[in-house]
């Protein structure tokens, strides 16, 4: 479990600079190893941005699936 969580954290670290450049960020809430569901929280300007869903699905989820094949879906909480 910790190994998968670490992989997810490393992938998020690659995404984080782009989010921070726009005044936002992403934090890992949980990783459900059995289902491959990764739960994150968008913070800062990303939290209320009208493009948050697009950022979540086309940015964060796509990158995580490429970097961490065990990740099947990313959800915002």
Domain residue ranges of the chain, discontinuous segments joined by +? 2-76
- CA dist 70 and 4 (Å) reads 8
pLDDT-derived band at 71, boundaries 50, 70, 90: very high
Backbone angles phi, psi at 70, to 5 degrees: -70, -20
User: Which is nearest to 12 in space by CA: 39, 32, 33?
Assistant: 39
Q: What is the pLDDT of residues 4-59, one digit of tens each?
A: 999 999 999 999 999 999 899 999 999 999 999 999 999 999 888 888 889 999 99
DSSP E strand boundaries for 1-77? 24-32, 37-44, 73-76
CATH code matching the domain that covers 2-76, chosen among 3.30.300.130, 3.20.20.80, 3.40.50.10470, 3.40.1190.10 = 3.30.300.130
Q: Is the pTM of this model over 0.75?
A: yes
């Amino acid at each position: 479990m910790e190994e998968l969580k670490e992989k997810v954290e490393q992938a998020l670290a690659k995404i984080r600079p782009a989010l921070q450049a726009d005044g936002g960020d992403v934090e890992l809430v949980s990783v459900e190893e059995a289902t491959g569901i990764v739960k994150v929280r968008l913070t800062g300007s990303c939290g209320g941005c009208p493009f948050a869903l697009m950022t979540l699905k086309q940015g964060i989820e796509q990158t995580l699936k490429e970097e961490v094949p065990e990740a099947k879906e990313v959800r915002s909480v």
